[in-house]
Amino acid sequence: MDIGIFGGSFNPIHIGHLALANYLCEWGWVDEVWFLVSPHNPLKDRGDLWPDEQRLRLVERAIEGYAKFRASDFEFHLPRPSYMVNTLRALREAHPEHDFSLIIGSDNWETFPRWYKHDELLAENRLLVYPRPGYPVDEASLPGNVTLVEAPLLDISSTFIRQALGEGKDVRFFLPDFGEEPRGEGV
């Protein structure tokens, strides 16, 4: 089975994440998407990061009922900081029955040379790059194991969601239905 690894803070998960993952599954790019909740991206500030378990619970609630999605705390059990090259190696060792494809946005593709052991990560894995506004990708320049996915373009970010929540805005239509789960500490 081909598993798409969608790593991120999911701080919080929103409809943009879900729509992209749904597209990847339903249009045949991958068989399943595993939402790999990251404890902390080494390239990002930890300042406004919600607690790990809360972000994982929100992902679990958001994907409930869709068999092609899975929430994963796999990185919670790896040495920190967690680096994707190590995570994917550990995933292949833990699940040799699967093939894994790393899902990243074109914004991350632009900063990919800054990723820890990016050359090894690229050599060992298939990457699916989806479009993000303001980050065009020259498809002709991509290595053979990197594919530009022509997914629908949704300009929604977790930063936008957190800022709006902090300002007391009603952004319910940008978020999946979490039930009674609080949406961020102090919000």
Residue with tokens 């919670």: 76
Q: What is the pLDDT of residue 43?
A: 58
User: 4-8, 43-47, 120-124 — which is least confidently predicted?
Assistant: 43-47
The mean predicted confidence, pLDDT, of the chain is 92
The percent of residues in the chain predicted with pLDDT above 70, rounded, is 92
Q: What is the pLDDT of residue 178?
A: 83
187 CB burial (10 A radius; 0-12, 13-18, 19+): exposed
Residue closest to 4 by CA, chosen among 25, 15, 138: 25
- Report, at the CATH architecture level, how domain 2-174 is classified: 3-Layer(aba) Sandwich (3.40)
Mean pLDDT of 28-52: 85
The percent of residues in the chain predicted with pLDDT above 90, rounded, is 82
Dump pLDDT digits (tens) for 61-79.
Answer: 999 999 999 999 999 999 9
Confidence of residue 135 (pLDDT cuts 50, 70, 90): very high
Q: What is the pLDDT of residue 40?
A: 73
* One-character DSSP codes across 93-155: HH-TT-EEEEEEEHHHHHHGGGSTTHHHHHHH-EEEEE--TT----GGGS-TTEEE--PPP--
Rg (CA), the chain: 16
CB proximity list for 48: less than 8 A, separation 6 or greater: 11, 162
CB proximity list for 142: less than 8 A, separation 6 or greater: 129, 148
* One-character DSSP codes across 31-53: SEEEEEE-S--TTS--TTPPPHH
For 71, the 3-state DSSP assignment is strand
Residue with tokens 């500030």: 45
Mean pLDDT of 136-145: 95
